[in-house]
Each structure stands twice: as C-alpha cells, then as structure tokens.
A and B are shown apart, each in its own frame.
Chain A
Amino acid sequence: MNANRFDLGGGEPIITLRGIAKSYWREALEIPVLQGIDLEIPVGSFVALMGPSGSGKTTLLNLVAGIDRPTCGTLEVCGHELNDLDDDELAAWRNAHVGFIFQNYNLVPVLTAFENVELPLLLTSLGRRARRERVAEVLALVNLTDKQWNYPRQLSGGQEQRVAIARAIVTDPDILVADEPTGALDAKNAEEVLGLMGRLNADMGKTIVMVTHDPKAAHHARHQIHLEKGVLDRAVEVNR
C-alpha cells in the first residue's frame, strides 16, 4: 500500500484526494503543510483526523470542505471536481453538500437559535413556511425545540454546539466537517455532542470528517487517520 493511501473499507468514495499538496507562503519562503495526499473516504464514513499540531489535519479538513484550495493535486467531493469550480460555484456547492461544526460554535450572537439554524436555508429556494418547518424539524432532532427562541448567550456550551449541529444539517448536506467539535465542552456535553454526531452518521448516513486531538472523541469515529508532518501516517479502524 502506498504510504499515503489507505483503505477505509468498501463503498463508493464520496471524497477522493489525489496527489494533494498544500503550501503556504511567508514572503519568499514556502511552508509545505500537506504533501502528496491520496485518500478515498467512502460514503457514510465517520473519520477522525488526528495528529500533532502543525501536522496538517485542519488544512486537510478545509480542503475537503471546499474552504481552501490545494497547491496541487485533484480533489473530488460529492461528485464534483472542486478545482473546476470558481469561488461562487464553490460557495453554492458548500451550501448544498457540506455542513460545518466549529470548536467555538460560531453562532451569530444577534440571532436566536432558530434564526441561526435558518441561516443556510436563506440561500436555498425554500419558501418561508418550508424553511420554518425544516428548522423546527432539525431543532427537534437535536432536542432543542424549547430553546429555539433563545439567543446564544442564553444557552450552555453544549446547547450552543447542538444548535451549530442543527445549522450544519439543516440543508441536509452529504458531508459534515467538524473541527475540534468538543474542544470547548466539558466531558458530559462532549459525550452528548459526539453521541449526536454518531447518530447522524449511523441513522442518517451522513459522512463525517472530524479533526480532534482528543482520543476519546476520536473513539466515536469508525476510522482514525493520523497525519504526521503533512503526510498520512496511518489509518486505524476503531473497534468498539
């Protein structure tokens, strides 16, 4: 097996990376972050990207999510060659196919939980009533119907992250990308959020790619991919 190619089990790949490299430039100095990444992630996977700081895991996540572009290589996600999309097409693609879960939740403080969840739907063709029904549905899914008119400052960290998850899934995306989703939560809330993500993967078939430092969090994934200095180091199937 190629050192940078791992088999995450059968199934049609939803994410395919070929020869992906990413470098940043500090004036004339090139700083390579990812090098020669080949990776296929099948539909319905729950993958934890792990590795020490600076290993390139967040950069890899950003590439998969279409919020950054590789220096070289090809990247096919949800049937789209992302390099071929211009910025506006890429934005529309993200809205349709990717849901984001951030460490710090990143809810809009001046909007209620309901309005935060409704945000991505403003870009869709759904009418007002359909949007409201959809938002109510996902808020019920994350068990926050009773908090829907609360502002983020009126919610606990765990509740905020659940609102963020509701926002991530409200457009029914194929992929959820999560960057340290439990990094700001206590153990109990972290467990609750990870359990919710697990259900989204198992019950709704969402493909999840999660960056984490936390082995306990990574244990909720079905596969762990370890990066080391910008290259894929090893892939581990999680035994539960």
Chain B
Amino acid sequence: MRWLALVWKSLLRSRRRTLLIVGSLVLSVFTVAVLQSLLTTLDSITSNPNSGNRLAVRHKSGITQMLPRSYETFLRQQPEVETVCSLQWFGGYYQDPRNFFANFASDETTIFQTFREEFGLANLTEAQVKEYLRDGAGCIVGESLALKNGWKVGDVVPLTGTIFPINPRLTIRLIFKSSRPSDENVLHFHYKVLEEGVPRMKGLTGAFWVRVHRPEDIPRLIERVDRHFANSAYETLTETESAFNLAFVKMLGNISTIIQGITIAVVLAILIVTANTMGTAIRERGAEIAVFRAMGFSASRVLSLLLAEGVLLVGLGAALGLLLAQAAAGGVRSAMGAVMPFFADFEITSVTALLCLAGALAVGLLSTFIPAYAATRRPITEGLRSVG
C-alpha cells in the first residue's frame, strides 16, 4: 500500500457522500469556468489587438440611424486617415432563420485595407481580390463559415433579408482565413447591392470604419470629426472600435458585475458545502484518527493525509468540471458563434482552467484544514473514547 492508496481508500469511505460532493464540485467548477470564459471572451471583443488604429463613426442617436455616405469625403480629407469603409449590418440568413451569421454590405474598394489583419490580406493574392471586385454580386466569406456550410469558391449563397426587403444571391469569390475564429464567421458583399436593392439606403450607411495611420492621432481626430458634423441633421458619434464594441457588450447589461457576483456566490456556496461535508467526515473519524496517532502517526502527518484527501476530492471535482466545461465550450462555439461572431472564440483558456483549479484547491484546503487541524490536536485518549 502506498500513501496515495491510503488517501484514495479513505476518500471512498462513504461513496455516496464522495459522489455527491464531487458532483457539486463538478457543477460549480463548470459554472465558474464557463462564466469566467464568457467574461474573457467579452473582454477580447474590446481588446482586439488589431483594432487599435480603427475608429467607428456612427449617428449620434444610435446605431439604427443612418449617416450620409457623402461624409466619407470629409473623413478621407483628414491627414490622419488612411482609409474609410462604409459598413452596413445586413442581418440576412441562409436557408433557415436559425442558420444565422454576421453579414454586411461593405465598401468593396476599402474593406480589405481597413480590416487587413482580419482578412489575412498578406495571404491573399491580388487575383483573388480582383475577382471579388470584378463581380458586383460576389461575396467574401471566412473559412469557418464556409466550412460550416460546405461552401467553396464559386458557390451561390442566397441570403434572405430580415432588416431590408431584398434577398441577394451572392457568389463566393474569396474565402479568407483569419487568426481568430470569430473573424471568420462573417460574409461581406458589395455595398451597391444594398443601395440598388433598397432605394431608401441610397447614399446612406450605418457606419464608417476609419483606419488611421497612427493610433496616437485618434483622440484628435475623434474630436475634429464630431465637431465638424455637430448641429447637422446627421450628427456623428466617433469612437474607437473597442469603445464601439463595448457599447454592444453593454447592451447586455453590466454582465461583468453579474458574472463576478455569480462566481463569488458559487465559490462561497461550494466552500460552505465542502467545509460542512469535510467537517462531518472528519468528526466521524475521531476514533480512527486517534488510533493512527497511537500507532505513531504524528499529528502533522495525519493532518497532511486529511488535507490530501480534501485536495484530491476537490481536484477530482475540478478536473471533471473543467473537462465538462471544455466539452461545453465546443457547443457554445458552434451554437452561438454564428449568431454572435465573438462566441466563435469562446474557449476555456489555460489561465481560466488554472484559476479554477487553484480556486478549487484553495477551497479544498480551506474547507479541510480547520476540522482536520482540530481533529489532530484533540488528545488521543479523548479520540479513543469516541469509539462506538
């Protein structure tokens, strides 16, 4: 027999109790891991390393209000600006309303330069880009989206509009690969398809995406753009891409506070449950602990064995919980990634997993230490008297 075997066998003393506590730990760690990963995913929206030199210019009243495309002229004239791209959320679906993904009408002439990191422009050939520019009914799609739907270059994708009363039939001219899965769950088509199909959209756009030469120019440019269009019929609100995305996240409410609140509640609940269980389990073994000590096990050695039991118990629960969360992450990516592209990046990161594991181990140590310490400090003679 080895020490680990002794700890393991002691843990299985009451299988039902062990199973229940491991089960509750699995659920708790699963919940915390998924919630914290959700938070990480939402944070990544606002911390896209590629968005540092991009601005979003939209109507001051909200994202559903349009801006004249003629504003582009002024934007292009600013010395800090590298390129400007009109972008309008189309909101169409392919074949089934449930088969939803991000799709935009965008200025085909500037989209590649504006989002060159997302499109992996360095890996695209000039011929591929030209093919898309040549075909007014063409579209570009990310590789993840293409794989999911079994699309290849040359396939026709009929989109059914939900916001605009048109159903464009688009031919895939380019499939791009990006560094982040979320950037690949998207389809872009020529802006003129929207303008020509929807008369009220003629000369209007939902937003301009502006790429600047240097990030440090951004504050100055924001101030100048909004000042220029102030008191006009179409006042603007210019903000960094991160701030724009954050506004979307904020539409979900103060989700960060909610998630952290739930996490704290779950951790406290499991701490109390584990402490109670371990306390009961250790108290029931008062005589056995006394016998161990009578045989020559020092108080610190018995304490170590009991702590090892606690740690093994929560370690097991945490590992299973993380495995479950990892499995669920795949489901979240495929189910939610199409609806909200950033969910395509959803994963249980190693940092989250380590935090969960460390948290669980801390719970194990904390919940076991107090009853174990008390039990090992109890006089041996007193412990022996508690024999049946």
How does the 8 Å CB contact mask read for B1-36 relative to A, with 1 for contact and 0 for none?
111001001101100000000000000000000000
Residues of A within 8 A of B300 (CB): 88
Residues of A within 8 A of B387 (CB): 102-104, 106
Q: Is B298 an interface residue (CB 8 A)?
A: yes
Minimal beta-carbon separation of B310 from chain A (angstroms): 16
Cβ-defined contact, A92 with B296, below 8 A: yes
Cβ-defined contact, A110 with B10, below 8 A: yes
Cβ-defined contact, A88 with B1, below 8 A: no
Bound-complex Cα distance A123 to B1 (A): 12
Q: Is B388 an interface residue (CB 8 A)?
A: yes
Cβ-defined contact, A68 with B13, below 8 A: no
- The interface stretch among A114-122, A142-150, A191-199 is A114-122
Residues of B within 8 A of A62 (CB): 380-381
Cβ-defined contact, A65 with B294, below 8 A: yes
A87-B299, A122-B6 known; A104 vs B388 contact (CB < 8 Å): yes
Given pairs A122-B3, A128-B2, 12 additional interface contacts (CB within 8 A):
A67-B293, A68-B380, A68-B381, A87-B299, A91-B297, A104-B387, A110-B13, A115-B1, A115-B9, A119-B1, A120-B295, A171-B296
Q: List 18 A-B contacts (CB under 8 A).
A: A88-B299, A91-B293, A91-B296, A92-B298, A94-B295, A95-B296, A95-B297, A96-B296, A102-B291, A106-B287, A110-B9, A110-B10, A111-B6, A115-B6, A119-B292, A120-B295, A123-B295, A123-B301
Bound-complex Cα distance A65 to B6 (A): 25
Residues of B within 8 A of A102 (CB): 291, 384, 387
Bound-complex Cα distance A61 to B196 (A): 102
Q: Is A238 an interface residue (CB 8 A)?
A: no
In the complex, the chain A residue whose C-beta lies closest to that of B2 is A128
Residues of B within 8 A of A93 (CB): 296
Minimal beta-carbon separation of B294 from chain A (angstroms): 5
Query: From DSSP, what is the main secondary structure of chain B's interface residues?
Result: helix
Query: From DSSP, what is the main secondary structure of chain A's interface residues?
Result: helix
Cβ-defined contact, A106 with B6, below 8 A: no
Q: Is A46 an interface residue (CB 8 A)?
A: no
Which interface residue of B291, B296, B381, B384 has the most chain A CB atoms within 10 A? B296
Could you tell me how many residues of chain B have their Cβ less than 8 Å away from some Cβ of chain A? 27
Residues of A within 8 A of B288 (CB): 106, 108
Residues of A within 8 A of B10 (CB): 108, 110
Cβ-defined contact, A68 with B1, below 8 A: no
A residues 101-160 with Cβ under 8 Å of B? 102-104, 106, 108-111, 115, 118-120, 122-123, 128
A104-B387, A109-B13 known; A94 vs B296 contact (CB < 8 Å): yes
Cβ-defined contact, A120 with B296, below 8 A: yes
Residue in A87, A106, A122, A128 whose CB lies within 8 Å of B291: A106
Bound-complex Cα distance A87 to B293 (A): 10
Bound-complex Cα distance A115 to B10 (A): 12
Q: Is B150 an interface residue (CB 8 A)?
A: no
Cβ-defined contact, A91 with B298, below 8 A: yes
Q: Is B379 an interface residue (CB 8 A)?
A: yes
